[in-house]
Amino acid sequence: MYRIHLGEFEELILLVVAVMDGNAYGVAVMEELENQAGRSVNISAVHAALRRLEEKGFVKSEWSEATAERGGRRKRLFTISNAGRVALEQSRDVYIKLWSQIPGFSHNISFT
């Protein structure tokens, strides 16, 4: 099986995009990352990671309709692709495998 390698920050961004289920755009991803992971990040870093993930085929983007609240500007909305889901599943499986081998830790790891 082909292994997909994600950096830790890219993996967090990809997870947030998946959680946001079609409502992910730069600022919202940045805010969700801070809320969910307690990480304060620069918007430029989020945009760069989203571009890298799109280049790798892990996310797809499309422009939203213009809104008055944004002064007539559109948002670039990101969604996770099938390749992105596979990447997250592979990453999860590696973590579960390694965590289950640590002596003294619970072998009943569950992500439900």
Domain holding 84, by residue range, is: 8-99
DSSP 3-state of 24: strand
Residue 64 lies in a domain: yes
Residue 1 lies in a domain: no
pLDDT at 109 over 70: no
Residue 2 lies in a domain: no
Number of domains in the chain: 1
Residue 106 lies in a domain: no
Residue 14 lies in a domain: yes
pLDDT for res 71? 67
Residue 45 lies in a domain: yes
Beta strand 76-80 with 59-63: parallel, antiparallel or unpaired? Answer: antiparallel
What is the domain-level CATH number for residue 62?
1.10.10.10
Residue 59 lies in a domain: yes
Question: Whole-angstrom Cα distance, residue 28 to residue 82?
Answer: 22
35-67 pLDDT, tens digit each: 999 999 999 999 999 999 999 999 999 997 777
Please state the pTM of the whole predicted model: 0.83
Residue 104 lies in a domain: no
